[in-house]
Structure 1
C-alpha cells in the first residue's frame, strides 16, 4: 500500500511513512484499533472508541477526537464496500530513551484495507484451531487494551503453517486459557456461556464486549484446557471476522450449536455479513 492509493492518512495527510524516531516504532509506545466497515458504516464504532479511550488513559496519551477519526475513516475507506480500517496512535517522536517526552505530539495513522474473505463453510461448519506453546505474560497494567506490542501473538502465529488450521489458542503463564491469537474465545459449559477474564493479560475485544452485552447470563470465569475439552460448543469472536464456530481444537471435535447460531444471527442483525455456504 502506498500514499498514492489514497487509503492511508498520517496526521490527516495522505502519506505512507512515519519518522524512524517515532516511539511506536522504537518502543511499541501506542495503541491501535482494527475496525470492520460495511458500506461505510462501522457497527461497533462506539465500542472501539470506548476501548481506545481506556487505552489512552492507561498509557497517558491524548485521546483523538472521535469525530475527526470518523471523518478520516470515511476518507480512506471511500468506495470500499467491505473494509477494515486500522487506526494507530503513537506517542510520536522523542529523544532516545524510555522517558516519555514532556510535551508529546502523538502520531495518528488511519489506513484502510479490503476486508479479508472467509469461506462460507467456515461460518457453517466451523474452523480448525490448535493449542499454541507460546504463553501470555501477566501484566495487569496493559491487559485488555490493544497496545502496539504484539510479539507474543507473532510468536504464537509462527508456530504453524498448515492452511487448514485457522487459529491458535493461547494460555497464560499460569496455564489458564485466555484467547486466540486474533480473537477472543467462548465456550458453552454445562449450559452456560463462558469466556475467560482478560484483566491480567490478553485483549478485551469489542466483539467479546458485544457478546457479553447481548447474551443474558454470559459469565467471565477462569477456563482451563481440561474444562474446554468438555465444552458443548466453542466459538471465537472478532470484530473483523464475527462469530466463528470451532469445529476442532487439535484432535478434539466440536459441533456448532444453538448458542453459536443465535450469536451469528445477532451479528447479521448488527449489519455484518456472515457468509453462507
Structure 2
C-alpha cells in the first residue's frame, strides 16, 4: 500500500491526532485509472465545502497538487484522502494554532460481481437509523459509526447493499451509496438536508441526467414512495450505477432510464 502523510511517504501517525481522537476531519475516496483521478473537481468541491463548514484551514491548491502527484505514482486503484485537524491536547476545544494533517493512501480497486451492474441487487433493510444533524449533513466526515453498525447487520452475500433511513423514517441512502428512484419518467433522489453523504457520483448523475433532458428532482422520500417507484438504483464513485431489483418481498425491474444513465456514465466505470 502506498501511503503519504503531508506530501511525503510515511507510515506512522501521532496518537495525538484529532482525527483519531474525535473523528475531527473529512475524507474522500477517489477512483484512479491510468494515473488520473475520476471526478476530481467534484471531490475537491465537496472537500472545500467540508473544510469551510468545519473550520479547517486547509490549503486546497496544495491538496490538488498532491492528489495529482499521488495518482501519477499510484497508477490504478482507489486513493483515500483523509484530512484531520491535526494534533491536539485532551479536550474537544479545537487548538487555536491548527495545522491540518493530510493522509493519502492507495489500495487496489474493489472487485464487484458483474451481475450487480447487469442484473441488479437486493437491498437489506437496515435497522440502524441515520441521526438528523443538519450541521454535518452531506459531509463525508470521519465519523462513520452509523455505517459500521448498519453494515454489521447482515452477512448474507445475497445482499450487496443496505438501505438506510433517518430517525424520522425518511429514506436517505445506501450504506455506501446514494439512492435514486424513477417514477413516471422523473428522476428523484432523497434530500440530504438533514443527514447523509452528498456523493460525487450522485452529483454527476444529476448533472448528466439533466443534460440529457431527464426531469430531475431532490426531495423527501418515504418508504411508500420508494415502493411505488417504477425503477430504483444506487450509485457510487467506485462502481457507477447498480439497479435495485428487490427490498424485502417487493421487486422492481431494471428499467430503461436506469440503463440509459448507466450508458451515460460508462466512461467512469471499469467494465
Q: Same fold (TM over 0.5)?
A: yes
Query: Offset at 1:74?
Result: 3.6
Whole-angstrom distance in 2 between the partners of 1:242 and 1:160: 23
Query: TM-score, length-normalised on structure 1?
Result: 0.92
Q: Structure 1 pair 67/22, CA: closer, same or farther in 2 (3 Å)?
A: closer
Whole-angstrom distance in 2 between the partners of 1:182 and 1:133: 15
Residue pairs, 1:58-97, within 5 angstroms: 58-66=53-61, 68-75=63-70, 78=73, 80-81=75-76, 83-97=77-91
Range moving further from structure 2, 250-259 or 159-168: 250-259
Superposed CA offset, 1:9-55 (max 9, x none): 01112112211110000000000000111212223100000000000
- Partner of 1:245 in structure 2? 243
Whole-angstrom distance in 2 between the partners of 1:161 and 1:221: 31
Whole-angstrom distance in 2 between the partners of 1:254 and 1:173: 26
Q: Structure 1 pair 70/255, CA: closer, same or farther in 2 (3 Å)?
A: farther
- Partner of 1:206 in structure 2? 200
- Partner of 1:186 in structure 2? 180
Query: Offset at 1:79?
Result: 5.3
Whole-angstrom distance in 1 between the partners of 2:74 and 2:5: 20
- Partner of 1:4 in structure 2? none
- Partner of 2:21 in structure 1? 26
Whole-angstrom distance in 2 between the partners of 1:257 and 1:109: 40
Superposed CA offset, 1:148-181 (max 9, x none): 0011111111100111211101110110000001
Query: Offset at 1:76?
Result: 5.8
Whole-angstrom distance in 1 between the partners of 2:38 and 2:102: 22
- Secondary structure of 2:220's partner? coil
- Partner of 2:166 in structure 1? 172
Whole-angstrom distance in 1 between the partners of 2:62 and 2:263: 30
- Partner of 1:37 in structure 2? 32
| Unaligned ranges ≥5, structure 2 | none
